[in-house]
Amino acid sequence: MKTYESIAFLSLIVWLAVPLFHYKSKHFWFFLFLGLNDVASGILWFGFGLSSQTLWIPFYYLIVLSIDKEFLFNNWKIIVFGFILVLVLNYYSTTFIQNGFVLISHTIILTLFIKYLFWGFVENNVISLFYVVMTFYGMFSVYKFVLMLNSVHQELSIYFVTTIIQIIIGMYLIIQKRDIQFLFKRFEP
C-alpha cells in the first residue's frame, strides 16, 4: 500500500469511529455522515477505482444540515424534499458544480463552528475546546479543498499534512468524549 493510500485508509477508520464515541451528542449525525462519506469514498476508490466526486453533493448536503441534531429532526420533511432535489442536481452536475458545492459546504461548516464557539463565549463566558478543535478542523478542510482545486500535485505534501492533522483531530475526538470548557470572567468597569 502506498503512503497516500495508508493515510486515506487511516483517515477512513478514524472518522468512521468518531460517531461511535459521540452517539448522544448534538453533532452525532454530522460525524456519522462525515464517516459514511469517507466509507463510500473508500469503497469507490479502493474497491472500484472510481472517483467519489459523484457522491459529494448528496453527502455534503446531509453533512451541513446535520451539524445540529435538533435542526435535522425538526426540519426532516423539508430536508428529505431538498435531498431529492439535490439528487437531481447531482445527476446533471458538472465537476465545476460539484467542486463549488463542496467548497461552499466546507465554508458553511467552518462558519457554523465559529458561530458556536463565538456565541458560547458571548452568552456563557466559556471557550469550548470542542468548538476550537472543530473550528480548526473546518479551517483545514477548506484549506485542503482549495489546495485540491489548485492542482494538488504540486502541493501534495501539504495536502497530506493537513489530512494527518485532521486524523489527529479525529483521534482527539475519540479520546476526549467530554467537552472541556474554559470559563472567563468579564471585565466590568
Identify whether 82 is part of a domain: yes
Nearest Cα neighbor of 57 from 86, 84, 80 is 86
Based on the structure, what is the number of domains in the chain? Answer: 1
Tens-place pLDDT, residues 155-180: 667 777 888 888 999 999 998 877 77
Domain membership of residue 75 (yes or no) is: yes
Is 20 a member of any domain? yes
Q: Which domain holds residue 12?
A: 3-183
> What pTM was estimated for this model as a whole?
0.84
With respect to residue 189, please indicate whether it lies within any of the assigned structural domains. Answer: no
What's the confidence (pLDDT) of residue 104? 92
Q: Is 119 inside any structural domain?
A: yes
Specify the pLDDT at position 149: 75
pLDDT > 70: what percent of the chain? 92
Q: Is residue 153 part of a domain?
A: yes
Element (H, E) at 112: helix 95-124
Residue 188 inside a domain? The answer is no
Distance CA 28, CA 21 (A): 9
pLDDT bin (cut points 50, 70, 90) of residue 113 is very high
Q: Exposed, middle or buried, 15 (CB in 10 Å: 0-12/13-18/19+)?
A: buried
Predicted confidence (pLDDT) at residue 15 exceeds the cutoff of 80:
yes
Task: Please check whether residue 71 lies inside any domain of the structure.
Answer: yes
- Residue 73, pLDDT > 70, answer yes
